[in-house]
Structure 1
Amino acid sequence: MKSFGKKARDQYAKLPKTEIPGYTFFEHVKKEVQRTENVDRNHKIQAMNGKQYFLIDVIAHILYYLKEKTLKEFRDSRLYNSPLKAPDIDWVITVPAIWKARGKRMMREAGYMAGFCDPHVTMGNLEEATGRVQPPPKEELNPEKLSLALEPESAAIWCKKMIDISPGGNDVKNYLIVDCGGGTVDIATHGIIGGHVHELAPSAGNMSGGTTINERFRDFLSHFVDDPGFVQYFSVSDVVERSRRKSEINKIVYTIFEDQKMYFGSAEIEEDSFVVEFCPNFARSFSQLMEGKSVKNVTIEDEGTQMRLSHAKMTEFFQPTIDKIGKLICDHIHTNNLASKIDTIFWVGGFGECQYLRNELEAAINRDFCKGEKKIRYSYPPEPKLAIVRGALAFRYDPSVIQQRKADATYGIACRIPFDENKHPIEYCVDDENDCSRKWCKHIFSTFIERNESICTNEVFVANYSPVRSSQRVSRLTFYSAPHTNVWFTTDRGVTELAKMDINIAGYGRDRDIEVVFDVTHTEIQVCARDKQSKNEYKIVVDFLFSEQ
């Protein structure tokens, strides 16, 4: 791996055409995890050159690169008498609140592949996706050395520290954290009770991060040159030339326009002073067409090499994103009856530094919720884009800082219970294998916890189940989740299969109890099972990344 982030984009854009085939470039890798609802180990991502790679492999290489950079920093600092190995360090990976169990599990397994928990792991070159990737690990080495932390929750922990040391901090009782990043916007809602932090509502979020503004400009630009999506511009047979053109568009949209976006967002500027300079090849391809265009609030200058956007036009790019974020916040407050409780809102994240964004959102929130004497304070910590990483470290140091959480979904397991013709659909009725007079109802959703239910730290849910057949040697436990309450069957609307777990069971008969312990009090769902007859406990790796195929 050569480089990461903005540096990677700039370096790739500057490569001579003859060197492009030697590099592979990926854009928005993290967003791909959220975009794919049923992401699994075999999910592929396309590089700029059109080649396909396994997403989990790409993420693992990124994490390996960051891990090695970190270890080098420690070595160069000479703070330790002997070189540190990866398992000597407690690692924390932050994830958006809207990520489901699959996305979180992918980050953990990628962390294992990157060697966060095993000092002997090395990674070679990234290979193209062929066949299928490896199955889940049968056992996890030093899993406690790797933690996942929710990004808005991490930011909330850091803001709590700022509250504790700030004048007037005692006035903050219930607060909302709005984490505006490049890809996602996440919300956490916390209250301080007896000096401890309690979650007041499940985290919420959407995909309305800052890059949606860049994507809107990209869409506008492609229509401006009469080539929606740049389909024609990219349809060249030469793979290297196609990669160069894609890189060029990326530079215009995510580097050159990004600078103007940040300039616009930093203050209220009323003049037409937002200039996007085109890359030379793009200008040569479209300058003649663009110079003949007449579009309100847009001017083509300098022989088609730059585009001047008015303040009104920049507002058009921003407004849909602001509206979606505003709706997310207001819906979250309304849905969870928080209007009378929230006294402070903190803005964090890189996009959260945008002054224009904050001004517009604060005005919208005040219109909706600040009636009469009701006032909401708005604040952001120093360097708000670092609030997440600082809070994540504080969380790893003391996870008990969060005393109570709210369940973000309804969780349960599939099972069978005696059939009741007055309650159960007839098509779910199955015969008992040993007693044909006995009937069972399949597809039952046995609930562990319902959405929005309060869960104390380290509180777990225990339930007992028996095998379906007397001769059964392996019991497959299938876990499900739903975004709503009152779930009765695994076939109900909105219910999705979450994970599978196979355990060996001893003996014979149906009176062999399996005890299942289900823990949702942490960032990741944890499950273990115990065969009560043999007393064996199975800490089997639960497969959240099983393939639907």
Structure 2
Amino acid sequence: MAPLLVAGIDFGTTYSGWSFSFKHEFELDPTKVATKRWYGDQLVSMKAPTCVLIEPDGETFSAFGFDAETKYTHLVEAEEHDKWYFFKRFKMQLYNKDIKRDMKIEDETGKKLNAQLVFSSSIRFLKDDVLKVIGDRIEGVITSEEISWVLTVPAIWDVGAKQFMREAADMAGISSDKLILALEPEAAAIYCRHIPAKKGEEGSLSTFKTGSKFLVVDAGGGTVDIAVQEVTDNGSMKNIYKASGGDWGGTKVDEAYVKFLERILGMDSIDEFKRSNMEDYMLMIRDFEIKKREVDPQKSDKPVVAIKADKLKVDMDVVRNIFKIQIEAIVDHVSNLLDQSTIVEIGAIVLVGGFNDCPLLQQSFKSKFDDHTIIVPNDADLAVFKGAVIFGHKPELISQRVSIYTNGIEIRVPFIEHVHKESYKIKDEDGKVR
């Protein structure tokens, strides 16, 4: 039986959030998905920072998101933070790692706690928060049996990391039989497929016919997740190439920015600023998060680096250099994918995720792939968790995935030109090419 309500949790490296829709809302308009506005100082956001504060006993949850940042800042300024556990952008500690149930992860000061405790505490907060909002919105009681939960995970994560998230969700009170894991680029593609084309709009996934192929680039804070999809005859999508990507997300640009400041001002100065003025340091990084989405690639009217009043003025060539390594890694990887002989007739490249809000990254795609349609939805950073809710209502929208692992059943199979690598070609004792 279809759930009365689907709630999605987008657990990101930099930011996290939740969304939901009732069954009747989905039937009227699948894209009508409720989300929350989070407030931090003067910032209003559709997501909260992925950070959690645990009390000195190493077990008790204290705060999540903006509240965790603010409380930890006050602890630092009062020099009372040493015994507390503050975890920020910790999702990446599951990427490319040998995952174990008893593994520990480090907080901002190097102290270690059980990873499942940290992840489950965060998921529990997001789950309880969405349930509170739902409870305030409707009269009567909605039971756990009537709710289906969707948790987003990177497609490039291995099965161990995905299983870890499933078990962390179970610890947070979301039973496995009520949980669906949604691969982030697939969820984004589902949302984009449901956005109606605007009049005169060039390229829209909603208008793609059966057999149309497109590539989804989900560039978030930690990972860049890439999926290649094909529209099937019933309007659903199938994955036609293994998930790929890497750790080229926007947080690497933040790190490059801090290193840039260290070269100008000295590492000791930045460390002292961080120690003595933690709140201002966090505001600076948060402000850069916003600024990097507003960079004008065409603008270049400043001296190389200058301070004017209370502003740091930086020439566009310097800014490009801060972004360069990550953008080149993403664009080169997509270019190599499109060169694969097994992937043909890609009609469009869809850019989603918070990092894809950056004009520099968009411009790089449009310049490099000028023979492809580049689609960037207006709410690119919300596409994943809105698509996750749609997927929860209708899981059959994804009809096929390419398995990460395969079992060999035969050796020395016949060699197929332009499919198999040339370096694999051999001749057997009968002279047949295999």
Q: Which residue of 2 aligns with 1:159?
A: 192
Query: How far, CA to CA, are the matches of 2:158 and 2:269 in structure 1?
Result: 30
Report the CA distance shift for 1:403/1:309 in structure 2 as closer, same or farther (over 3 A).
Answer: same
Query: How far, CA to CA, are the matches of 1:5 and 1:308 in structure 2?
Result: 30
Q: Which residue of 2 aligns with 1:389?
A: 385
Q: TM-score when scaled to structure 1? A: 0.57
Quick check: 1:46 aligned with 2:106?
yes
Q: Which residue of 2 aligns with 1:263?
A: 294
Deviations 1:86-124 (A, max 9, x none): 45421111001111111111111111111112xxxxxxx
Query: How far, CA to CA, are the matches of 1:242 and 1:364 in structure 2?
Result: 39
Q: Which residue of 1 aligns with 2:9?
A: none
Query: How far, CA to CA, are the matches of 2:152 and 2:228 in structure 1?
Result: 18
Q: SS of 1:202's equivalent?
A: strand
Task: Give 1:42 shift.
Answer: 2.5
Query: How far, CA to CA, are the matches of 2:361 and 2:84 in structure 1?
Result: 36
Q: Which residue of 2 aligns with 1:109?
A: 167
Report the CA distance shift for 1:226/1:157 in structure 2 as closer, same or farther (over 3 A).
Answer: same
What is the aligned-residue identity percentage?
27
Q: Which residue of 1 aligns with 2:358?
A: 354
Question: In the alignment, which of 179, 194, 197 is matched to residue 146 of structure 1?
Answer: 179
Checking the alignment, whether the CA contact within 8 Å between 1:199 and 1:405 is kept in structure 2 is: yes
Task: Give 1:262 shift.
Answer: 2.4
Query: How far, CA to CA, are the matches of 2:269 and 2:157 in structure 1?
Result: 28
Query: How far, CA to CA, are the matches of 2:265 and 2:274 in structure 1?
Result: 18
Quick check: 1:213 aligned with 2:225?
no
Question: With CA pairs under 8 Å and 6+ residues apart, which has the higher RCO, 1 or 2?
Answer: 2
Q: Which amino acid aligns with 2:219?
A: C
Task: Give 1:77 shift.
Answer: 1.2
Checking the alignment, whether the CA contact within 8 Å between 2:77 and 2:278 is kept in structure 1 is: no
Query: How far, CA to CA, are the matches of 1:76 and 1:183 in structure 2?
Result: 34
Checking the alignment, whether the CA contact within 8 Å between 1:87 and 1:116 is kept in structure 2 is: no
Checking the alignment, whether the CA contact within 8 Å between 2:217 and 2:227 is kept in structure 1 is: yes
Q: Which residue of 1 aligns with 2:122?
A: 62
Q: Which residue of 1 aligns with 2:400?
A: 404
Q: Which residue of 1 aligns with 2:131?
A: 71
Report the CA distance shift for 1:40/1:222 in structure 2 as closer, same or farther (over 3 A).
Answer: farther
Question: In the alignment, which of 315, 320, 333 is matched to residue 320 of structure 2?
Answer: 315
Q: Which amino acid aligns with 2:186?
A: E
Q: Which residue of 2 aligns with 1:472?
A: none
Query: How far, CA to CA, are the matches of 1:378 and 1:352 in structure 2?
Result: 12
Query: How far, CA to CA, are the matches of 2:70 and 2:316 in structure 1?
Result: 27
Checking the alignment, whether the CA contact within 8 Å between 1:156 and 1:188 is kept in structure 2 is: no
Q: SS of 2:180's equivalent?
A: strand
Report the CA distance shift for 1:170/1:74 in structure 2 as closer, same or farther (over 3 A).
Answer: closer
Checking the alignment, whether the CA contact within 8 Å between 2:155 and 2:184 is kept in structure 1 is: yes
Checking the alignment, whether the CA contact within 8 Å between 1:12 and 1:247 is kept in structure 2 is: no
Report the CA distance shift for 1:224/1:309 in structure 2 as closer, same or farther (over 3 A).
Answer: same
Quick check: 1:24 aligned with 2:54?
no
Query: How far, CA to CA, are the matches of 2:137 and 2:242 in structure 1?
Result: 41
Query: How far, CA to CA, are the matches of 1:164 and 1:395 in structure 2?
Result: 20
Query: How far, CA to CA, are the matches of 2:380 and 2:350 in structure 1?
Result: 9
Checking the alignment, whether the CA contact within 8 Å between 2:105 and 2:113 is kept in structure 1 is: yes
Deviations 1:194-246 (A, max 9, x none): 1332222112111111111111111222233343896xx47xxxxxx986666
Q: How many matched pairs? A: 344
Report the CA distance shift for 1:246/1:52 in structure 2 as closer, same or farther (over 3 A).
Answer: farther
Report the CA distance shift for 1:6/1:219 in structure 2 as closer, same or farther (over 3 A).
Answer: farther
Quick check: 1:100 aligned with 2:158?
yes
Q: Which amino acid aligns with 2:138?
A: R
Task: Give 1:382 shift.
Answer: 3.5
Deviations 1:514-549 (A, max 9, x none): xxxxxxxxxxxxxxxxxxxxxxxxxxxxxxxxxxxx
| Mapping for residues 151-300 of structure 1, pairs under 5 Å | 151-162=184-195, 169-171=206-208, 173-195=212-234, 196-227=236-267, 233=271, 249-252=281-284, 254-264=285-295, 268-272=298-302, 297-300=304-307
Query: How far, CA to CA, are the matches of 1:392 and 1:380 in structure 2?
Result: 18
- Is the radius of gyration larger for structure 1 or structure 2? 1
Report the CA distance shift for 1:165/1:5 in structure 2 as closer, same or farther (over 3 A).
Answer: same
Q: Which amino acid aligns with 2:353?
A: G
Checking the alignment, whether the CA contact within 8 Å between 1:204 and 1:332 is kept in structure 2 is: no
Deviations 1:11-48 (A, max 9, x none): 533557227438532111111111x5202222222223
Q: Which amino acid aligns with 1:259?
A: I
